[in-house]
Amino acid sequence: MPSSQSEIAPVLFVGAGPGDPDLLTLRAARALAAADIVLHDRLVGPGVLALAGPQATLIAVGKEGFGPSTPQTEIIALILAFARAGRRVLRLKGGDCGIFGRLDEETGPLAEAGIGYEIVPGITASVAAAAAIGQSLTRRGRNTGLRILTGHDAEGFADQDWRALAQPGQVAAIYMGKKAARFVQGRLMMHGGDPATEVTVVENASLPHQRIVATTLAALPGCLEDVAGPAVILLGLAPRAAALALPELKEALS
């Protein structure tokens, strides 16, 4: 066991990206190969976990909206205990650590304990979803800003600046929004949102079983009824025709 806090290796908080192992950063892959302990979220897939070194112990500490979850206090206790025992700890989070990843809730106790940490950013799901439909998240003449929202928070459905979001040309990426879809739809239309506003749902972004559902604000809740996997709702964006044809083209060439 290390004799002082200065000998404790910094804990690495690593973004695992949207799911496809090819979208993991080189630094993240190197960190995975060197880690002793990998505490990973539920949505981190086997392809990414396979990059951990043979010496690594993999521990699932996942959370599921409205479902079973590992208590945050337990996750923090594990991080602290393994770090103090001199292990090289890697906390692996889906997407990017700093976007709805409870990063501050885990780095705060480390700072209070005098244990260092580093953050390795990852590609967040909204970026992968926009790439999947052949669109950019910002475009001159359309939207000069992008909102990244959560469908629900610790208090329930998350409130937003609905009046601003309802304006024409706005683009927002909504995470964890499946169960909140009717709430989001109602709030936007209540504040003047056009029912014909283009919306795209990207399920399992970047993965082989990715699915793209093009819809409108008026039809949004209904189109989510059979969406079982993690999904990003892209408000204000429609897929380009070329993006929708790409899976068929890949299948024809295989």
Active-site positions read 41, 63
Q: In the Cβ-directed half-sphere of 113, how many Cα atoms lie within 13 Å?
A: 20
> Sign of dihedral through CA atoms 49, 50, 55, 58?
positive
Collapse the DSSP code of 24 into the 3-class scheme (helix H, G, I; strand E, B; otherwise coil) and give the result.
coil
CB atoms within 10 A of CB 231: 23
- Angle at which helices 103-112 and 72-84 cross, to 10°: 40
Query: What CA–CA distance (Å, rounded) separates 214 from 172?
Result: 15
Query: What CA–CA distance (Å, rounded) separates 110 from 124?
Result: 24
With residues binned 3-state (H G I as helix, E B as strand, rest as coil), the percentages for the chain, rounded to 5, are 30, 20, 45
